[in-house]
Chains A and B, each alone.
Chain A
Amino acid sequence: MPPRMLPEPTPETRHFWDGCKAGELRLQRCTECDGGSYFPPRPFCPYCGSRKVEVYPASGKGVLWSYVINHRPRPDMGTEPYAIAVVKLAEGPKMMTNIVGCPQTPQALPLDMAVTVTFAKQNDDISLPFFEPAKG
């Protein structure tokens, strides 16, 4: 199996991947407007254009927004079907991810299910943020 396709951080996204490595999901928000949190990372606010933005640790909580279960796995992803999901974070932004810790079936993946972030170390630099069904 070829190695999994992994991100190559850029200066603008380094804080996000450093956060994942440290077990923290980091979002950004503007300090000048009320536009709220945004994702993916960039060094300016996509709502007002201000460069005065801050990085902060998100709650890591969200809901399963929508997904497909890929029945033609990419060669680096193994041989079993897997869900490619979009999670809507409690802070507002949506992000693509995989859902782990449960069967990759429609029955185990109801929309709007509460999910929590978990980090999976891939190498010394990269940990990927996955989500699992919230406990309790």
Chain B
Amino acid sequence: MKPKTIAVVGAAETTRMGRIPDMSVIGLHADAALNALADCGLKPSDIDGVATAGASPVDLAHYLGITPTYADGTSVGGCSFMLHVRHAAAAINEGLCNTVLITHGESGRSRVGAGRFGGSASSLAGQFEMPYGPSGPPTMFTIPVLRYMKTYGVTEEDLAMVAVVQREWAAKNPHAVYRAPLTMEEYLAAPLVADPLSRYDCVPVVAGAQAIIVARPDRAPKGRPGVRVRAHRASYNYDNQEGDGLQTGISTFAAALWQEAGVRPDDIDVASIYDDYPTMVLAQANDLGLIPGNDLARFCRVTIGEKRFPVNTWGGMLSAGQPGGHAGGLNGISEAVLQLQHRAGERQVKDARLAVTTGYGMTMYRYGGTAAAAILERVE
């Protein structure tokens, strides 16, 4: 995308997060959308582009009474919302629309056991994966974890730091579903889900939604710092599923991302890294160049463990919850926006000016087939 041409002008969540039995999925999308519009002083009639995954963007437009000239229904797993930002930037720069609403909402019912996971019996997954008993993302996305631990010398205690420290952040987020402290002992004693992964390695599926509004920087409300997209890159099917699952597509574009942004990894103040499982945080952080010398164990114990570098400051999906179904990822962007606008309350990272956000998704044939990352900056 053209650097610095696009801003995230508004960001919000549903009024409630967690268990919301009295709202439908479309209602959750709309609630977050109305909150995001209020956040930046816009009305539904100001929106001329709509993007969402899972739900139809046209259904959402109808529900909100919007008549857009641009719609994006890209749905490729946990990376979709990063891609909606990317596509919105291109659409705005091409003149297709001016102000794009991006929402993500789910009623949070687990897909496990729904009988739909893995597709039909004649699909590739149906023929070459499902007969062996995977029962959802925790038993598919996670197969490389043991290999990862062996290759990089990472222990369960190292991985625990990702979950334990994100819980400390979550304690400062009133919207997080899990806020009580999580000790190393509790983490290690938790019931196994897909050995070596236990309960606290897996994202809790919740009800809720997030919404952001993407437009030219001058659309941002006056009198408050703006958040500009400094660079954005994406990759699909980067190794044709023939690698080891220890790298992500971010490895293919990290150098170009930093160059486009004109900043370096150690300039970053706060990171939102897609965290469906702790090892995925490490894989993406390593691909971004945030881990000197590939020393993943030290990154866990010292960089994250001692909070020298703030990662997933809203608690991440591991503590704040993932509105399930079509994965998450929008919560990482909205947290970065709050941090850069210095509106993150108790969990505010002091003087945050630059953020990196990522998405990583699609259990296609063992591990993530899509990846994207963006550098966001505070503009006074």
Interface positions of A (Cβ within 8 A of B): 4-10, 13, 17, 39-40, 46, 65-77, 81-82, 84-86, 93-98, 106, 111, 128
Contact = CB atoms under 8 A, between A and B. Distances in A.
B263 interface: no
Interface string B228-270: 0000000000001010110000000000000000000000000
Q: Which 7 pairs of residues, A with B, have the shortest CB-CB distance?
A: A7-B127, A69-B195, A66-B147, A8-B121, A68-B194, A8-B122, A74-B135
B133 A82 contact: yes
Nearest to A39: B128
Contacts of A82: 133
A68 B195 contact: yes
Contacts of A65: 147, 244
Interface string B125-141: 01111111111001110
B150 interface: yes
7 contacts: A9-B127, A68-B194, A70-B133, A70-B134, A72-B193, A81-B195, A96-B129
Interface centre among B132, B139, B148, B240 (most CB of A within 10 A): B132
Contact of A66 (B124, B131, B143, B197): B143
A72 B198 CA distance: 11
B134 A84 contact: yes
B133 A128 contact: no
Interface centre among B121, B127, B365 (most CB of A within 10 A): B127
B21 interface: no
B142 A40 contact: no
B138 to A, nearest CB: 8
B: contact size bracket: 35 or more
Interface in B138-157: 138-140, 142-148, 150
Given A7-B126, A69-B194, A106-B196, A74 B133 contact: yes
B112 interface: yes
A106 B139 CA distance: 15
Nearest to A104: B195
Contacts of B326: none
B133 A77 contact: yes
Contacts of B41: none
B127 A8 contact: yes
B124 A70 contact: no
A72 B127 contact: no
Contact of B132 (A9, A13, A40, A84): A84
Nearest to B243: A94
